Structure 1
Amino acid sequence: MAPVFQTEKTEGNARLGVILTPHGRVETPAFMPVGTAATVKGLTPRELWELGARIVVANTYHLFIRPGVVPVRRCGGLHAFMAWPGVILTDSGGYQIVSLNQLAQVLDDGVVFRSPWDGTLVTLSPKLVVSVQLEWGSDIVMVLDHCPPWPAGRRAVQQSVERTVRWARQSQQVFWEKLAKNDSFWSPPSRPLLFGIVQGGVYADLRKACATALAEMELDGYAIGGVSVGEPEELLVESIEATVPWLPTGKPRYAMGLGEPWQVVELVARGVDLFDCVLPTRLARHGVAYTSCGRLSLRRKELSEDVSPLEEGCSCYACQHFSRAYLRHLWKAREILGVVLLSLHNTCYYVSLMQRIRDALRAGEWERFRRAFLGHNRKGGEVWE
């Protein structure tokens, strides 16, 4: 069977590679803009593509509830539904099921929850979640996992690990049963990929146990879940470090829900290949832009007469055409255009950062790049707000 992930070069634990999918190659390390409800907030698919994004994340939980399975299918699948020509990774929604529903009941065979839109009871099982993602034509299918809230005791986390591994096995079974009905799906890059999700909270031995069990299943890739859920920063990094050594070196690794630019750089150094985070568009809605010197808040009064762009040398439409003064005016006046332009810039920043990381790895200058970047962008150094 052809490999789904090819490593081109390494420097330390950092890896330059490529993932093969039905809708194209994903050069890694890569950042995936978050299109939870089949849209990246404030941006059109064409704008994303022109920025250089080649993969986005959608959420099975949200789309299963609204608009539902049938409308997406009748539109020709998720790619046609959202007019996205690139790669789509669909998160299973395991985290959202628990975090967004106080009445969610986690059972051995799935989760029963109440729809936040109309109050009806909905049940999602590991097999159903995978079946839906395949029906929608997802390129990277995520298994249903059980992500315990922070903080959670050891016994609760251990139970979530056992449930996550059991659900992953069920997911893998239905995945191959579905693919067996379509001969063209049997080998990459024509077939979708199945990723497992490692849980284990802040307990290193439980993360090892979960990662080892999932690695034995020989899935196509592995996500590191249960991080960035409210735990202290140092525990987040420790959880990643406790997981990566137990994952196969020949498979892509995905840190879910991360993160800040400095976190991305630090985790690339620890061997992580894929990242997603809502911060680029979420902070745009709060009038905050990413720059090479950290975050820049449009709340700053002195920007009202600043004729410079958000970031000198940035190729995005916002920086090429508009001043900080104008963008501050839009945000203060609560004009939609302000949010759109900031979302465009912030997403461009992240996509460009990943290109710079790949360029540094390709040139053998990764450690030099890492030191220089963290010298300006470590947490605590963001003094522009």
Structure 2
Amino acid sequence: MLKFELLKTDPAEGSYLGSHARRGTLTLNHGVVQTPIFMPVGTYGTVKGVMPQSLHDMGAQIILGNTFHLWMRPGLDVMEKFGGLHQFEKWDKPILTDSGGFQVWSLGEMRKISEEGVKFASPVNGDKLFLTPEISMQIQTTLNSDIVMQFDECTPYLSVEPKTKGLVTTEREARSSMELSLRWAKRCQEEFARLNNPNALFGIVQGGMHEHLRDESLAGLEALDFPGIAVGGLSVGEPKEDMMRVLKHIGPKLPKHKPHYLMGVGTPEDLIAGVQNGIDMFDCVMPTRNARNGTLFSRYGDLKIRNARHKSDPQPLDVTCTCHACAGKSGVSWADGGRDGFSRAYLHHLDRCGEMLGPMLASIHNLHYYLNLMQEVRDALDAGTFGAFVNQFHTDRARGV
């Protein structure tokens, strides 16, 4: 089941500001999601270092699972025993699973792509495996995810041809990849229907850095009438200006009565740019991955907790933040007089000592920042002040910590 209701568009839509921001609700089998939304990534059935209750507390409405990795471990026999991923990981809200296409792409020379599917050696035990659009649908049906992604070929930024490897993917390569993904999309749709999957299947726009190929991909998916549309193949190594060029081209063209999902993107600035171009849903490993590497996001820029200047700093990571790391049990930010949170000095100490509490608190903070950013976006859209919000966002982020 999927029902998308478009509640409001930015008053600046169509003006010289070029805003296509949208406010909506997405009703799925396991709950209602308020959009725009950021979705924490739980690759192996867990968001790294974060308890499910913490995700609830910070306002996570929907999380991701990874089809490829869950197929490898624990396997479909275990998933069937638990009736799917929700009961297995004890998460009662919606889940989106990717198709495995990106993971197959990331295997590089370890995989062989054909019209039928992809042959590769398991990165876990070396077993020879074959992943097809039909098998991807079967796996995701077993996982019982609320949103199922079509199996696609993630078009690389750099060429995959031996003679040109290391150069930008040619138009011919990008077209071949995009057309293969369209044929796979139809096969996914047919298998999804055969399985009587009660959830929702999204198609994925591909086409590399070529705007006209993106248009062709979108037209092909619209003809198949998927209930939701994703934009893939961005944030795969291309320069930021190319990513933004493609996003600004294709985002506003996505069907207005369906939810729009930008896959694997990105920084706080990327999320705001995505919303401005009509995107409703985002995911990225950046909040948790950066947290484990000592980089924290805040309203006033990014903070490197490993820097020596934080050794004795009593401030929290973000003086305006109400997450457990910054505000403690009280939930009152430093700016509002709270002093229950952990200091930058303590987080610096934990990182230097390799204590696992360090990346756990950092992950909680980063995810809270992303989720709260999307809440502020929704509030601004509700109030009709999104343009002013964007200006203040960029001013604050440029101020620095």
TM-score, structure 2 normalization: 0.90
Partner of 2:184: 167
Aligned equivalents of 1:215, 1:168: Cα separation in 2:
11
- Residues 287, 297 of structure 1: 8 Å contact kept: yes
Is residue 2:102 matched to residue 1:71?
no
Is residue 2:356 matched to residue 1:336?
yes
Quote the offset at 1:304 in angstroms: 1.2
Aligned equivalents of 1:241, 1:173: Cα separation in 2:
31
Give CA-to-partner distance per residue, 1:179-219, whole Å, 9 cap, x none: 2xxxxx7xxxxx31110011000000000000111011111
Quote the offset at 1:376 in angstroms: 3.0
What is the aligned counterpart of 1:116 among 114, 118, 123? 123
User: Which residue identity is paired with 1:239?
Assistant: V
Partner of 2:370: 350
User: Which residue identity is paired with 1:335?
Assistant: E
How many pairs are equivalent? 370
Give CA-to-partner distance per residue, 1:222-246, whole Å, 9 cap, x none: 1100000000001001111222243
Give CA-to-partner distance per residue, 1:290-312, whole Å, 9 cap, x none: 11111111122121111111111
- Residues 151, 185 of structure 2: 8 Å contact kept: yes
Range with bigger deviation, 109-118 or 98-107: 98-107
Quote the offset at 1:101 in angstroms: 4.3
- Residues 2, 199 of structure 2: 8 Å contact kept: no
Quote the offset at 1:174 in angstroms: 1.2
- Residues 2, 200 of structure 2: 8 Å contact kept: no
What is the aligned counterpart of 1:224 among 196, 211, 231? 231
Partner of 1:58: 65
Aligned equivalents of 1:196, 1:50: Cα separation in 2:
31
Aligned equivalents of 1:136, 1:305: Cα separation in 2:
47
Aligned equivalents of 2:343, 2:253: Cα separation in 1:
48
Give CA-to-partner distance per residue, 1:28-78, whole Å, 9 cap, x none: 000000001111000011110111001001110111111111111112210
Aligned equivalents of 1:309, 1:235: Cα separation in 2:
36
- Correspondence list, 1:1-385, <5 A: 4-11=3-10, 12=13, 13-151=20-158, 152-179=169-196, 191-320=198-327, 321-377=341-397, 381=398
SS in 1 for 2:109: coil
SS in 2 for 1:223: strand
* CA pair 63-101 structure 1, distance change in 2 beyond 3 A: farther
What is the percent sequence identity of the aligned residues? 42
* CA pair 51-3 structure 1, distance change in 2 beyond 3 A: closer
Partner of 1:188: none
Aligned equivalents of 2:352, 2:2: Cα separation in 1:
51
Quote the offset at 1:148 in angstroms: 2.4
Quote the offset at 1:382 in angstroms: 7.9
User: Which residue identity is paired with 2:343?
Assistant: S
Range with bigger deviation, 207-216 or 94-103: 94-103
* CA pair 52-3 structure 1, distance change in 2 beyond 3 A: closer
- Residues 119, 128 of structure 2: 8 Å contact kept: yes
Quote the offset at 1:247 in angstroms: 2.1
Aligned equivalents of 1:76, 1:193: Cα separation in 2:
18
Quote the offset at 1:5 in angstroms: 0.8
Aligned equivalents of 1:159, 1:122: Cα separation in 2:
23
- Residues 2, 28 of structure 2: 8 Å contact kept: no
Aligned equivalents of 2:221, 2:148: Cα separation in 1:
15
User: Which residue identity is paired with 2:61?
Assistant: R
Partner of 2:330: none
- Which ranges of structure 1 fall in alignment gaps of 5 or more residues? 180-184, 186-190
Aligned equivalents of 1:112, 1:228: Cα separation in 2:
25
Quote the offset at 1:153 in angstroms: 1.3
* CA pair 292-27 structure 1, distance change in 2 beyond 3 A: same
SS in 1 for 2:311: helix
Aligned equivalents of 2:255, 2:347: Cα separation in 1:
46
Aligned equivalents of 1:246, 1:128: Cα separation in 2:
31
- Residues 144, 164 of structure 1: 8 Å contact kept: yes
Aligned equivalents of 1:75, 1:36: Cα separation in 2:
18
User: Which residue identity is paired with 1:249?
Assistant: K
User: Which residue identity is paired with 1:317?
Assistant: H
- Residues 45, 83 of structure 1: 8 Å contact kept: yes
- Which ranges of structure 2 fall in alignment gaps of 5 or more residues? 14-19, 159-168, 328-340
Aligned equivalents of 1:263, 1:374: Cα separation in 2:
12
Range with bigger deviation, 240-249 or 268-277: 240-249
User: Which residue identity is paired with 1:123?
Assistant: F
User: Which residue identity is paired with 1:279?
Assistant: M
User: Which residue identity is paired with 2:285?
Assistant: V
Aligned equivalents of 1:103, 1:304: Cα separation in 2:
44
In angstroms, what is the RMSD of aligned CA positions?
1.3
Aligned equivalents of 1:282, 1:3: Cα separation in 2:
31
